[in-house]
Amino acid sequence: MRLAALLALALALPAVAEERVTGFEQMSEDLQAMQNDPVANPGLFWIADGETLWSEDPGTGADSCKGCHGDASDSMAGVAASYPAWDEESGRPVDLAGRINLCRTRHQDAEPFERVSDELLSLAAYLTHQSKGMPITPDDDPRTDPWRERGEDLFARRIGQLNLSCAQCHDRLAGGHLGSALIPQAHPTGYPQYRLEWETMGSLARRFDNCIFGVRAEPYEAGSEDYVSLELYLKSRAAGLTIESPAIRP
């Protein structure tokens, strides 16, 4: 009887995971090896493309990224680890892809990249890769706090025809299974990452789209206030965990 009571209690309580576990730790040894092998991780193709874009003349008479920022391994180490970050000029937090596009329009007189494009994905991956092995350190500007709270609300809000929230799966049922897939705790340590499901590299926004589509709701726009808020919340929830990009995930 006591066991039954305990079980009932366990089911009733929102079982917020006490110990944080990343998707990497939940993968098979084989996939972990694939991620760590510099000749087996296809995400490295996007890193290489990003490095090319970093040094490429934007064709507007302005400097390349490298022309202003120098060697990314120096200037960009740890930068992606604190994104999304506050942008003075627009008075809101922006994600890393948003920052790259602001750089293009403000400093390079160039058109922003399409939000869903290989160029933006590659540059974001290259920059995030410069923080590989470093801990996630959320932007501590207090002006980001209300946005983070908005993200937390979104995470807990039931949406879609299935009337499910992010938290119902990724907090309460994390470690369990959806169909045959393991439900992760949703710590965004590996983005941009190579998903075997996609057979290509993808952004955190693409992952959001997948989940939201999955519960039969309408996805938000990449870079929208909603997605940036959600990312702010997830990054603070994952503070201190190590950046892995380019990660491999099933």
Partner 1 sequence: MSALVNIPETAAPGEIVDIKVLLQHPMETGFRTGPDGKLVPRNIIHSLRCLYLSEEVFAAELFPAVTANPFFAFTLVAETTGEVEILWADDAGEEQRQSQTLTVG
Partner 2 sequence: MKATRRQAIAMGLAMPLALRVRPAQATPETMQAAIDAFTGGAAVTEGGVELKIPALVENGNSVPLSVSAESPMTDEDHVEEIAIFNEVNPLPDTVRFHFTPRSGRATAQTRIRLNGTQHVTAIARKSDGTFHSAQVNVIVTAPACRES
Q: Residues annotated in the binding site, as ranges? A: 65, 68-69, 103, 166, 169-170, 207, 211
Q: Shortest approach of partner 1 to residue 29 CB, angstroms?
A: 16
User: Is residue 169 a contact point for partner 2 (CB under 8 A)?
Assistant: yes
Using rule CB under 8 A, residue 73 touches partner 2? no
CB 182 within 8 A of CB 236: no
Select from 127, 149, 116, 19 the least CA-distant residue to 73: 127
CA-to-CA distance for 124 and 120, rounded, in angstroms? 6
Helix (H) or strand (E) holding 9: helix 2-12
Token digits of residue 129 = 């890769």
Nearest to 107 by CA among 69, 74, 140: 69
Q: Is 210 in the site for partner 2 (CB under 8 A)?
A: yes
Q: Does 179 bind partner 2 (CB under 8 A)?
A: yes
Q: Which of 1, 11, 91, 240 binds partner 2 (CB under 8 A)?
A: 11
Does residue 162 bind partner 2 (CB under 8 A)?
A: yes
Q: How far is the C-alpha of 107 from the C-alpha of 27, rounded, in Å?
A: 41
Q: How far apart are CA 41 and CA 213, in angstroms?
A: 28
Cβ at position 191, least distance to partner 2 in Å: 16
Q: Name residue, tokens 């942008």.
A: 87
Q: Which does 216 bind (CB under 5 to 8 A by kind): partner 2, partner 1, none?
A: partner 2
Shortest distance, position 41 Cβ to partner 1, whole Å? 8
| Site for partner 1, rule CB under 8 A | 38-42, 44-45, 48, 199-200
Residues forming contacts to partner 2 in the complex (CB under 8 A) are 11, 27-28, 30-31, 34, 162, 164, 168-169, 172-173, 176, 178-182, 196-199, 210, 214-216, 250
